[in-house]
Structures are given as C-alpha cells and as structure tokens.
Chain A
C-alpha cells in the first residue's frame, strides 16, 4: 500500500486550547452569519458547564489545551481534482477517492483537516434538484433549510462533546434529496485529518425528503502521530415519510485518535433508515449511532463491526427509540479483539408507551482472538408498554476449535484459517457495503490480524 506523506501543509491554524477568542476566530475565518457565532458561543458555555461521562473508557489522555480545533489547509474548495494542490490531491489519490468517484459515485466531498477541499456532484443530480455541498457553503446558500434542521436532531446539550462540536464545527456536508428522487449511485464524503495535535469537527446534515432514496458513504483516516488527535463530528439525518437512507461508514482513524462522534437519525412514517458501520481505527472510540423512529411503521437496521487491536478501546453500539406505532428495529453487531484490544458493545433500546406494536431484535457477538484482549457487552433495554415483541441475544467466545481444525486439515495454515474465519464472521457487514468498500474493509481486517497500521 503506498505511503502517504505526513507533511504539514496548513495555511492557518488556531492556537491550541479552547476559549471564546478561539471560537470567535474560527467564526471570523469562515465569515459566518451572526446567528452561527451566537450558536457557537452558547455551545461553548454548555461545554464548560458539562462534565465528562462517568462511564465508558477513560478520556484522561485528552487535554483540550493540546488540541488545535481549526486547521485550514493551503487551498480553498475546488470542484476539479486538477485544481487541488498536489500534496492534498496525492493523499486522496492514494486513498482511492478520485478513482471511486470516476467509477461508481454520484458525488464526492473530500475534507482535509478542518476544511472541505473538493466537492463535486454529477450534473444529472443537480438537474433533479439534489443539493450536495459542503456545510459552510450550505449555511450561506440555503439558510432557510439549515435553520430548519440544524441542531434539531442532535441538540447542543446532549453531551459534552456535542457541545464542543457545535462550538468549533467546521467542514462536513449538506445533502438534500427532493421528494421522489431516488439516487442509484452513492454519494461519499471522505475525511482526512493530517495535522498532529488537532481536531476534526465536521458536521454532516442530510435530508431525504418524502419518497426519496439515498446511499451515503463516509470514510475517514489519519496518519499516526505520538500525540492525541480528536474527532468530535456530528451527523444529523432526517428521513421523511416513505424515504430511504443508508449511511455507511468505514472508519480507519489512526491509533492516536480519540473518536467521539455523534450520529443520529429521525425517521418518519413508513421510512427506512439503515446504518452500516465498520470501526477499525482510533485509540479510543465512543460511537453510538441512534435512530429515533417517530413515525408509524418506521424501520431501522443497524449492521456493524468493530475490531480492536493493540492499544485500542472501541466502545461502540447502537441506540434506538421507538415512538411510533408498529415500528421495527433490527440490530446486528459483531466485534473482534486481539493483541490486548478492548471492545465494548454498549446499546440502548427504548420502546415508549406510544410505540404499540413495536418489534425489536438485537444480536451482538464478540469474538476474542487471544487471551490478553477483552470483550464486554452492556446492552440496556427499557420497555414501556406491553404490546411489543422484543428479543436480545449476545455471545462471546473464541474461534471454534473445530472450525480451525477443519480448515487446517484442508491444508490452510493456522494464520490463514483464522483469517478466513474472521472474514466469514465479518461477512454480514461487508456484504452490505459496495464492493470496493467491502474490499477495503477486508484489507483493514487483514491488517489488524497482522498487527499492522493502515495509511
């Protein structure tokens, strides 16, 4: 795999730390409307008033005084790869983004540190009224839509790192798919955090209008440094009546990254929200995508896998809130741990009084590949009416000795046999991804099994 240059190519970087001056500096650098600055300052106030969570992995290594919350690369946003500076373009070339765009994507957004450096969308989609742009541009070009939806799915005071996010957010994507428009090819946003001791706080807002359909893919990576980097992004998704949205993520942050991302979807009547998630990177991850099924007959599915290797603590899971009648949720999560890695499946299923006829099924499996790793399962279920069908199951253990023996008796080495079993274990997730991403996911699994680092 080609190595990517870590050379720093920023044009502007706020000083490390977080205070009102820094927030104002970020807002000024972006030339934002006044209401955005007010929102940022309110979020900062909330951030300072909230405490760290009393549960989950320790976040002691995170010191905001050592993090720069805004790093602008040496370019503004382009709509042609030819215009993107070589160093940045080469990075994304090695990640396969331009190639993917040419071959099978309807549009691409590429973020480098704190800003989007490239954005494009196929003309035929523009003609159908699809909006796909970077979030900063959306604030200026579509203020009405932004004001209607921004922070409505994930409020400022949800938790400390969301408040941090809203104080310093930068970059990210805005997507609007009009009524009845069905995108056959996916849109992708790729996030690359190249600077050490910095953070990425992109905001993604997607609105799939009535009867519309979209597959959105998110990818991310960063080079490894000895210092802590922070990712506290936010994803807000709105799936309107009869709509369909699949949100796929293959996360490959470097092993010095603290990944404290928040993702949530509001799913209306008769619509379907699908999450596909592969978490392979980060030093510490706290990631719990959530679907709120507000409309009757709304459905959500979550398929996810996490693989924790050496020095990794991946605390991930899924949350679902059933509010509407006859809503359905299906959760399937798998985790692997090796070389002292720690995986924790942490989830919440809440079925409210109003959610008559709700159905939910949760399955979470943990596979441990050695006896120095750890796998925990902490699922919470809160059920508030009796007209429901709910089931949850979980398993934890090691690779079946019988399966290993069988494969080795067929001539495979133990290493190859283990890899084959692990790929089979991950198959329910990889088959939900487009082929190229499934291949990428398998590559990351192989790297983890070998104990290597990705790009």
Chain B
C-alpha cells in the first residue's frame, strides 16, 4: 500500500512521491487502548464499542477541548505500549477555544512488534494559542501519524514533533491557515538509527492574508537509517503579505544512511515571501579538531556539535522538554 503522497508529483523513479508500507501481517486487535492522562487534563473519552471498532477501525477516540483554564492549560497524554497493548489506532480531536493559551504533550512509547496508526485533528479557534509536542519512541515497529490542522484568525499552533526511532515512522502533517494572521510553527527533531525509515510529509496551505508558516526540521541519521522529507508551503491566491519558511538540516553520522528531501514552494500570490533551505553534512572535521584540541573527548565534542545544531529548535521549546530531548540524543551519540 502506498501512502503519504506528496502534494506535487515528481518522477516515480526518484522514490519520494509516496512510501510503501506492508501492514498485512499485522494482527489487528479489537480491544480498547487506554491512554494515560496526566495533570488532570479534562478530556472526553468516547466510549468505544465493538461495532465502532469495526466501523471506524480505531480502538481509541478522544475529544480534547482546551479552554485555557488552569487544569487544561498544561496537559500530558501518554500512550504506553506493551506486549498486551501493542495495537493502537486512535482518533484524537483537539479543539482550542478562542482567546485561550494551552500546552499539551503527547507521548507514544511504542514497544517492539507493535502497530500505531494515529489520527490527530486540531482546530484552533480565533486568537487561540496551542503548543503541542508529540514525542515518539519507536524501537522497531510501524508508526503512522496523520496530523491535520485548521487555524482561524490570529490562531497560533506551535507543533513540536520529536521522533526517536529504529523502526518505520510515517508522519503526515497537513493543514490550512484559513484565518488572517494565523501562524503555524512546526519544529521537528528526529534521531533515527539502525534500519529506521522515516517519511515526513508536511503541507501548509496558506489561504489568508498576513499568515506565517514555518517548518524547521533537524535530524540525525546513523546506521542504515533513511529519511524522506517532503515539505510544501502553498501560497494560494489571497494570501497577501504572508510569509513561509522551510528549513531542513540533516546530519549523517554514518556512511550507510540516506537522506532525500523535496522542499516545495508553490506560489500563486505575488505579495508573499517564501524561502526554503536544506543542507546535509557530516560533523565538520575542523570543528571537531578544534574541540578536541580544547581537551574534550571525541564523544563530548560530538555531543557539543550536535547540541549546537539542535539549539535552533530547542531554544524555543519548554526547558524541561528541551533537556529531555538533549539527554536522549546525547545518550545515543
């Protein structure tokens, strides 16, 4: 089955238009999956019955309405997989009410030989601000994540995607900036190793005036990991005075990884500013030499180098989360 199709096709033999996944062998379990909800977050968990499972093909559905009140301001949801609970097809609806500010972290701690196919739909009402971080750990499983969003006037969505994987991860983040002066800021950090395959497909449809669409992806590949990055910013007619930025940087730690990138800018509106940049490389020899000459060990030097590359994103993320991400990456290096 080919999924995660790019909004704009290129030649088929480039192998980036979509990604093939094989989920025939996965045992689809028809049982509920229980999410672990922290910080007293108020949510509405839909009752799932067997009929619903069969019809909707999901085993967890949550409606999260963030009204900015204290007990909904900083929430955390954890999906912890284990041997018994290793099949999750969830449907999350997140609504941020107007004139509110909320933070939400969602963690997927996926176990080996598991299957995750999640759908998150985000609606940010007028003047609302949502900071949503999704942290995924995936040792060897298939992880499919489809995130859609719609932003009303002056709404801001700050979306952090953090992926630590040796398995197969497919992320699709598609959405529209419908309202004037709406803003999406996607920050993505990944560390993929061994035989990991990561397919990222981000599409921001800028429909209204004075919007700001930004995607910044920084990743590290080691072992035989592979990554496809497809980022699209689409300035539609009417998106005057909007701006869009795509940045992608990938650090290759081994000779056997492969990085493909397709950063697309589509523009139908004259009075916009669009920019994209991608760069790929290894750890700079000269920088390493300098750090080693200052008495750092090779490991310390590598960590410092990597940390400096990640700082562009981590400096804008909550400090606790930032420390957690750095610790995890430092352990891997």
Chain A contact residues, CB within 8 Å of chain B: 53-55, 346, 348, 353, 366, 368-371, 373-398
Binds A, one of B59-67, B147-155, B268-276: B268-276
- Chain A residue at smallest Cβ distance from B250: A383
A378–B273 CB distance below 8 A: no
Q: A382-B260, A389-B281, A390-B279 are in contact. Are A370 and B270 (CB under 8 A)?
A: yes
C-alpha gap A377/B266 in the complex (Å):
6
**Residue B259, interface by CB 8 Å:** yes
Q: Among B237, B255, B275, which residue has its beta carbon within 8 angstroms of that of A386? A: B255
List chain B residues, Cβ under 8 A from A54.
9, 12
List chain B residues, Cβ under 8 A from A394.
263, 265, 274-277
- Chain B residue at smallest Cβ distance from A346: B10
List chain B residues, Cβ under 8 A from A388.
252, 280-282
A378–B277 CB distance below 8 A: no
C-alpha gap A376/B263 in the complex (Å):
11
Q: A54-B9, A55-B9 are in contact. Are A383 and B263 (CB under 8 A)?
A: no
Most buried by B among A374, A378, A391: A378
C-alpha gap A375/B269 in the complex (Å):
9
A374–B14 CB distance below 8 A: no
B275–A393 CB distance below 8 A: yes
How many B residues face the partner with a CB closer than 8 A? 40
B8–A397 CB distance below 8 A: no
Q: A55-B11, A366-B267, A389-B281 are in contact. Are A396 and B252 (CB under 8 A)?
A: no
Q: Among B14, B273, B274, B277, which residue has its beta carbon within 8 angstroms of that of A392? A: B277
List chain A residues, Cβ under 8 A from B48.
none
Q: Among A383, A395, A396, which residue has its beta carbon within 8 angstroms of that of B260? A: A383
User: 6 other contacts beyond A369-B270, A381-B278, A395-B274, with CB at 8 A cut-off?
Assistant: A382-B16, A388-B252, A392-B261, A395-B275, A396-B275, A398-B271
Which DSSP category, helix, strand, loop or mixed, fits chain A's interface? Answer: strand
Q: A54-B9, A387-B282, A390-B279 are in contact. Are A380 and B261 (CB under 8 A)?
A: yes
C-alpha gap A384/B268 in the complex (Å):
34
Q: A380-B261, A383-B260 are in contact. Are A368 and B267 (CB under 8 A)?
A: yes
A376–B270 CB distance below 8 A: no
B277 smallest CB distance to A (angstroms): 4
- Annotate B242-255 by CB proximity to A: 1 below 8 A, 0 otherwise: 00000000101111
- Chain A residue at smallest Cβ distance from B235: A396
- Chain A residue at smallest Cβ distance from B277: A393
Q: A55-B10, A353-B255 are in contact. Are A376 and B281 (CB under 8 A)?
A: no
Q: A395-B275, A397-B272 are in contact. Are A380 and B14 (CB under 8 A)?
A: yes
Q: A348-B14, A376-B8 are in contact. Are A371 and B271 (CB under 8 A)?
A: yes
C-alpha gap A265/B272 in the complex (Å):
37
C-alpha gap A55/B258 in the complex (Å):
24
List chain A residues, Cβ under 8 A from B252.
383, 385-386, 388
Q: A54-B12, A55-B10, A373-B270 are in contact. Are A391 and B258 (CB under 8 A)?
A: no
6 A-B pairs with CB atoms under 8 Å apart are: A348-B11, A382-B258, A383-B260, A386-B255, A395-B274, A398-B271
List chain A residues, Cβ under 8 A from B259.
381-383
List chain B residues, Cβ under 8 A from A366.
265, 267
- Chain A residue at smallest Cβ distance from B276: A394
A383–B275 CB distance below 8 A: no
C-alpha gap A383/B282 in the complex (Å):
12
